Amino acid sequence: MDDARDTPHADRTGLSALRLLLPYIRPYRRLVALTFGAALLATLTQLAVPLITAAVVDGPIADGDRAGLWPLLGLALAFGIAEAVLFFVRRWAMNRSCLQIERDLRDALYQRLQRLPVAFHDRWASGQLLSRATSDMSTVRRFVGFAAVFLIVNLITCAVVSVLLLLTYWPLGVAVLLTTLPLTVLALRWEKRYNLQSRRVQDQQGELATDVEEAVQGIRVVKSLGRSGLVFGRYDAKARHLRRLELDKVRTLALLWCVFELHPQVTLAVILVGGAFAVSGGALTIGGLVAFVALFTVLLWPILSLGFLFAFAQETASACERIGELLDEPLTVTDRPGVGPRPIGSPARLRFEDVGFTHPGSSTPVLEGVDLELAPGETVALVGATGSGKTTLTSLVGRLHDVTAGRVTLDGVDVRDLPLAQLRGIVAVAFEEATLFSMSVRENLTLGRPDATDADVAEALRTAQADFVHDLPWGLDTRIGEQGLSLSGGQRQRLALARAVLGRPSVLVLDDPLSALDVHTEALVERALRDVLAGTTALVVAHRPSTVLLADRVALLAGGRIAAMGTHSELLAEVPAYRDLLAQESDLVEARP
C-alpha cells in the first residue's frame, strides 16, 4: 500500500483513471471476487426461470400432464432460494470490501496531504482538497460497492442471454443483437462529453466548498463589516454556475436514459411480431416464444442500467482523476534515503550557509547568499521590512520549505540529513498567527510533545502567562472549539507559545509570537521567556521593541540577504538602513538595552 501511495501513477484519461483503485482493491481481492461471483450467479440463476417456463408450456401444459408440473415447480423454487442466498452473500461481501477499500484510499489521501510540502498547500484552495476527500471519495465508494459490480455482471448477463436467444431462435436473436449497435455507438460518443461535464461539476463543487469554508471561518469579519450580502452574492453566483453545469450533465444523462429506455420497448415489439410469424409458420413453438420473451425480459434491467452505470463509471473516473492529482503530487520534503537519527546537542548550533530560496515556478529568489550562525544558547532577532523573507528564512529550519541553494545545519549536520521526525522534535515553532485545533487545551499543548508531564505543561503555561486555562470550565480538558475561536487572540497566541516552549526544545523559532498581547501581559511573558531562551538556541522574528531586546544579537535582512549583524545599539548607531527601518516603528528607535 505504501508503494501505491508513494509512486506517481501513470497518466489517467477517461475510464483508464479507474486504474487508480487497483492497488487498493488488491488486498481485498477475495472479498471482491466473492462479491462478483455471488452477483453473477444470482443474475444467471434468474435465467433458469424462462427455460423452466418453456419446459412447462411445451411439456406438462401441452400434454395435460399435471403430475409433471410439480418437479418443474420445485426446481423453480430451488433456483429462487439459491438466488436469495446469493443476494445475501453478495451484499455481505460487497459492504465489507467497499468500506475497507474506501478507508484505505481515504487514509492514503489524508496521509499524502499531511506529507505534501507547505508550498503545495499554499497553492491549493482548501475547498478543493475537502471536495476530493469527501464528495469524490463517496463517489468512489458507491462505484466500488455497486456500480462496478453490476457494470461487469450486467455486461456478462447481456452476453449470456444473447447466446441463449440465438440458441432459442437465431433469426430473432440476430435482430436483437443488431438493435444494440446504436446503443454502443451512442455510449462511445457520449462518454467524453459526460466525463468532461462531470469534471467541471466536481471542480465547481470544490470552488463552492472553498467559499463556504472561508465564509464560516471569517464570519466575525463578514458580520463586523456588514458584508453578508457581498459574500452571499459571490456564493450565489458560483452556486448558480454549479446548477447550470449540473443541468448540462443531467441533459446528457437524460438523453442517454431516453435512448436506453426506448430500445427495449422497440425490440420487444420486433420480438412479438417476428415471434408470432415464426410460431404460425411452425419454426418456433409457443414455449419457445414464451422463453424468448422471458429471456429478453431478464435482459431489460441490464440494458436499462447500462446507461446509468456507464455514466456512473465516467463520474467515478473523473473523481479518480481528481484524487490522483493529489496522490501524484511529488513529495519534495522527505527523508533522504538511508538517513538515521544523529546526535544533536541541546541547545544546538544553528547555521545558514550561503542559503538561497526561490519559490517553485518563480525566477526571482526570495533569499540569496544568506550566511548566519547562532551559537548554542544564543538568541538572534531577525528584523526586516515586510516581504524581506524573514518568515521564509525561519521556515527553512524545520524544513517547512527546503533550501534551493546552500544548506542549513544543526551542530554541523545538514537538516536534510536528519529524519523529519527527529528534526521536528528538535525544532519548535510559534507562528504569529496562532493555530489551534478543535481539541482540549491539554491536547493542543502536547501536540508536539505527547510524552510531556503535568509539570512540563505547568511550566510552559507559566512561561507563556497562560494560566487562564485553569479558569476554563473543565480546565486543561476544556475543548476550545474550531481553531480555538472561543478564545481571544492573545489567549490563542499564549497557548501557541506555551506549546512551542514545552519541553525546552534544542532550537526555538518564534515568528513575532507576542504581537497580540497587551503591554502588561507582554512584559510578564518576556520576563519568563528570558529563562527559556537562556537554555535554547532561538531565532526570533521581531516587529516590536521588546522582542528585539530579548535577543543577544540582531540580524537585518534586506533584499534577501543579511545586510548587517550586531547588537541593537550597534546597528542603531552604525547602520543607516537599520535606523531607517526602525524610524517607521518609533518604539523601536526609542528602545535601548
Q: Which residues lie across from 407 on neighbouring strands?
A: 353
- The segment(s) of the chain belonging to CATH 1.20.1560.10 are 2-328
What are the residues whose beta carbons fall under 8 Å from the beta carbon of 399, sequence distance 6 or more?
Answer: 333, 415, 416, 420, 423, 424
- Amino acid symbol at 479: R
* Sheet with 405-410, side-by-side order of all strands: 367-374, 350-357, 405-410, 413-414
Domain 350-590 in CATH 3.40.50.300: yes
Write out the chain's pLDDT in tens, 593 residues: 444 444 444 455 567 888 899 999 999 999 999 998 998 888 878 777 766 766 666 666 665 666 666 776 777 778 778 888 988 998 899 888 888 999 999 999 999 999 998 888 888 888 888 888 888 898 898 898 888 888 888 888 888 888 888 888 888 888 888 887 777 777 667 767 777 888 888 888 888 888 887 777 777 677 666 778 888 888 889 889 999 998 988 888 787 777 777 777 788 888 888 888 888 888 888 777 777 887 887 777 787 777 778 878 888 888 899 899 999 998 888 998 888 899 998 899 999 999 999 988 888 899 999 999 999 999 999 998 888 889 899 999 999 999 999 999 999 999 999 999 899 889 988 887 778 888 899 999 998 888 888 999 998 998 888 889 998 889 999 988 777 777 887 888 888 888 888 877 899 998 877 766 767 777 777 777 888 888 899 999 987 777 788 889 999 999 889 999 999 889 888 988 888 877 665 444 444 44
The CATH 3.40.50.300 portion of the chain extends over: 350-590
- What is the pLDDT at residue 7? 44
> What is the model's pLDDT at position 4?
41
How, if at all, do strands 350-357 and 405-410 pair?
Answer: antiparallel
Cell numbers for 229, please give them: 450580502
Strands 350-357 and 367-374: antiparallel
Exposure string over 107-116, b if 16+ CB within 10 A, otherwise e: ebbeebbeeb
CA–CA gap between residue 58 and residue 119 (Å, rounded): 75
117 close to 416: Cβ distance less than 8 angstroms: no
Q: Where are the alpha helices (DSSP H) in 218-227?
A: 219-225
**Can you name the residues that pair with 155 across neighbouring β-strands?**
none
The CA-based angle 93-96-99, given to 5 degrees, is: 135
d(CA 459, CA 438): 23
* CATH fold for domain 2-328: ABC transporter transmembrane region fold (1.20.1560)
Over 147-173, what HEC string results?
HHHHHHHHHHHHHHHHHHHHHHCHHHH
What pLDDT is attached to residue 9? 47
